[in-house]
Structures are given as C-alpha cells and as structure tokens.
Amino acid sequence: MKRIAASIVAAAMLAAVPAAADQASRSAPVRDGFLTIGGPETLTPSANLRIPIRCSVECRTTAKTKLVTPTDVVGPDTARGHLTPGHPRKLIVTLNDAATQDITDNYSASRLRVGVRAVSSSSDAKAHAVKIFTFTGP
C-alpha cells in the first residue's frame, strides 16, 4: 500500500516565487550556458521541495523530476515554464505524505534528480543541466 501511495505525486511546476538570493551554505550551482540550477546539495524531506532555477536570457523551460527511494521510483514528472533574464524562480516539487515519509525513513538512500532544458526566446540557443539532490535525516 505504501508503494502505491508514494507513487502518487503532484506534478512539479514552475512557480512565480522568487528564489532566495542568500546562497550561504549551499552547494555550487549546476550551469550550462545561460541556465543554472541552484539550491543546497541536501534537501530536508518535506511536502514541498523548492529548487531555484535561473536563466541569464529570456527562455522557455522544461523541467523533469524523478524521485528514487529504496521502495519506489516516482516520476518522471514534467513542468514547463517561462523565465525572464536574471529573475530566478523556484521549481516546486510537491510530494504526498507517503512519499515524504518514505524519504524521511530512508533519507540516506533517497535521491531527487532534476533535469532542466531551456531554449532562448531570442536566439533559439539550447541549454541542459542536471542536478542530483540527496536528503538530510531527522
């Protein structure tokens, strides 16, 4: 039953929530051309995981997330959005209670993969970045 419940995850979405400017205690961001995926290397298990994404040019994005725990693989889920130059937004991954509990119980063996493809609105240049996040324990 837990396996089935953990596989029901709300789709990731690009939210119009500005990313925090404070980068203290964060790992190095992953960059490819004009696209950057930021955030800490380790995430705290919660119902809403927030991953900052930034383009240095106006771009269209497609983000895919995949959550892997010892008992289940959730995703990939896809979200599409539009980013303006230099204005970071947060990719919000919403998990149900069973998935959040599964991560909490198995934080050292759980991973969240975030892959983002971006296409520049002005030049059609493309960028692709992938970042793997681990989780912290209680």
> Which CATH number is 102's domain given?
2.60.40.10
**Domain assignment present for 104:** yes
Tell me whether residue 26 is in a domain.
no
Q: Residue 71 has what pLDDT?
A: 86
Judge whether 85 lies within some domain. yes
Which residue(s) pair with 102 in the sheet?
none
- Measuring CA to CA, which residue among 52, 63, 51, 57 is closest to residue 33? 57
Q: Tens digit of pLDDT for each residue in 90-136?
A: 999 999 898 999 999 999 999 999 999 999 999 989 999 999 999 99
Domain count, the chain: 1
Q: For 31-47, what is the mean pLDDT?
A: 91
Can you give the pTM of this predicted structure? 0.79
Which pLDDT belongs to residue 123?
A: 92
Is 52 domain-assigned? yes
Tell me, what's the pLDDT at 79?
A: 93
Q: Is residue 80 part of a domain?
A: yes
8 assigned to some structural domain = yes
Residue ranges making up the domain that contains 83:
2-21+31-135
